[in-house]
Amino acid sequence: MRARAQAEGAYSASTRELTLAQMGFVHCAFEEQVAGVANSFFRGVAKLVVLRISIDKLNAEVRYEDLEGGNVLFPHVYGPLNLDAVVAVMALPRGR
C-alpha cells in the first residue's frame, strides 16, 4: 500500500480492498474509534496498518458523517490522501 501510494503520489485506497473511486471517499476514524472499528470490521484480518493523518495538511475535503444510522460521526476524506498529510504509519497490534 505504501509503495503504491508513493508511486502514485497519494493514498487512494478506501477500505477492505476497495478504492477511493469505488467508495467515493476514504474511511477514517478518530483515535478513540480505531479499536472499535478494527474489532467490528477487521476481526479476521491478521495485519492491520493505521495511518495517522493531519487534517490540517489534507488537500481533500473532510466530512464528519454517520452513515450507519447511529449517533457516532466518523471522518470521511473525499479525495486521495496526499502523502504529506500522512504523518505516521503504524501496525495495529491485534487484541486491542
pTM: 0.83
Question: Cα(2)–Cα(86) distance, rounded to whole angstroms?
Answer: 11
Joined together, the cell numbers standing for residue 43 give: 476481526
C-alpha cell at 70: 447511529
What would the pLDDT profile of 35-59 be if each residue is shown by its tens digit?
999 988 888 888 888 999 999 999 9
Can you tell me the distance from the alpha carbon of 32 to that of 7, in angstroms, rounded to the nearest whole number? 31
Q: Which fold has domain 2-92?
A: ADP-ribosylation fold (3.20.170)
The residues spanned by each domain of the chain are: 2-92
Q: Measure the CA–CA gap between 53 and 68, rounded to whole angstroms.
A: 23
pLDDT digits (tens, 9 = 90+) for 2-30: 778 788 888 788 777 788 999 999 999 99
Most distant CA pair in the chain, distance: 38
